[in-house]
Amino acid sequence: MKKKIYITRKLPSVVIEKLANDFDIYMWQEEEQAVPRDVLLEQVKTADGVLTMLTETIDTEVLDAAPNLKVISNMAVGYNNIEVDEATKRGILVANTPGVLTETTADLTFALLMATARRLVEASGYLREGKWETWSPLQLTGMDIHGATIGIIGFGRIGQAVARRAKGFNMDILYYNRSRKIEAEEEMGATYADFETVLKKSDFVCLLLPYSPEVHHLISKNELSLMKKTAVLINTARGGIVDEEALYQALKNKEIWAAGLDVFEKEPVDLDHPLLTLPNVVTLPHIGSASIATRINMAQLAADNLRNALLQAGPVMKVNKPDGW
């Protein structure tokens, strides 16, 4: 009998077809809507494996409902939507999709940095709203990117890919990471500094670290107060890393200059969120990895992880190491 897998979002048929020979596939049929919680809880009752998105919270309630579950394959590099320790205790393997989204997410991070520094969204609105009456010397002036100091918090794959882009812009590169990355320092001319120094010295502070409870509100009132008044904060990692109320106050009171946010504590962010009222904030709907090619590659890798783990048939990007795996 074939094993049952449940896929929590409609994925491209090119990805699904490859799984069809080996598994009984059940899939939530919407592309734009997350699977309702009650449907997920029902479907996992008989599933051997699930392919999840970051929109699904895989907690003890889901794991309790899934007695046969062996593998959770998340279509994301981040996996803070999954209670990994709980899965490990139950012998459930968790997999993710690192690598395939690195360059695309670095592109978006740099695009957001540039859009925020040069006020692109505001400038586009200015034109469309008929405010452009003449050229004037200080109209819509922003911050230079070339020659500025970028401070990268979290110097893993994506952090380093952003640093490579920064090098091309002749930026000074500072970084903070739990461990030093000597090879990358040499390749990019990056300088390791402690967390506070990166905050104090950088013109652009980019958050590129994985979320865990230890880094919840890592950037709050105190950290924002250490940053330059002309600094720009860029977050393409996870919303929970930034205390949004503190960020709102810092931006409103001009303690920092601007922010570019691709991620929020609650997603989708509420339309009446105070941060959305500020002209010096560029907001995006969590599109860091959203290129057509990369999303297909992520779906394919998540499918391969699930297949290879359940059939013990090849490499798996493992997040945990439960007994027996």
Which of residues 260 and 288 has its CB atom nearest to ligand DGY in the complex?
288
| In the complex, minimum distance from the CB of residue 266 to ligand DGY, in angstroms, rounded to a whole number | 15
Both tokens of residue 214? 């230890």
Shortest Å, Cβ 165 to ligand DGY: 18
Nearer to ligand DGY, 174 or 269 (CB): 269
**30 annotated active-site:** no
Q: Tell me if 78 sits within 8 A of 307, measured CB to CB.
A: no
> Residue 73 Cβ, how far from ligand DGY at the closest point, in Å?
13
Q: Is 42 a catalytic residue?
A: no
Q: Report in angstroms how near the CB of residue 83 gets to ligand DGY at its nearest.
A: 16
Q: Among the residues of the chain, which ranges form H helices? A: 13-20, 37-43, 60-64, 84-89, 102-117, 120-128, 157-168, 182-188, 195-201, 221-226, 244-252, 292-311
Q: Does 267 participate in catalysis according to the annotation?
A: yes
Taking the least distance from each CB to ligand DGY, the nearer of 9 and 119 is 9
Among 238, 244, 255, 307, the one annotated catalytic: 238
Nearer residue to ligand DGY within complex by CB, 78 or 142: 78
CB of 184 closer than 8 Å to CB of 173 = no
How far lies 167's CA from each of 46, 200, 222, in Å?
51, 20, 29
Tell me how far, at minimum, the Cβ of 286 lies from ligand DGY, in Å: 6
Sheet with 71-74, strands from edge to edge, namely 23-27, 3-7, 49-52, 71-74, 93-95
User: Distance between CA atoms of 210 and 187, rounded to whole angstroms?
Assistant: 23
- The nearer residue to ligand DGY, 77 or 259, going by C-beta atoms, is 77
Query: Nearer to ligand DGY by C-beta: 226 or 259?
Result: 259
Q: How many CA atoms lie within 13 A of 325 on its CB side?
A: 24
* Dist. CA 210–CA 215, nearest whole Å: 8
How many beta carbons lie within 10 A of that of residue 115, not counting itself? Answer: 20
Tell me the closest approach of the beta carbon of residue 67 to ligand DGY, in angstroms. 28
Contact at 8 Å (CB) between 126 and 173? no
The pair phi, psi for residue 216, each rounded to 5°, is -60, 130
In the complex, the residues that contact ligand DGY under the rule CB under 6 A are 54, 76-78, 101, 288-289
SS3 category, 245: helix
Considering 119, 165, 286, 307, which one is annotated as catalytic?
Answer: 286
> What residues are annotated to the active site?
238, 267, 286
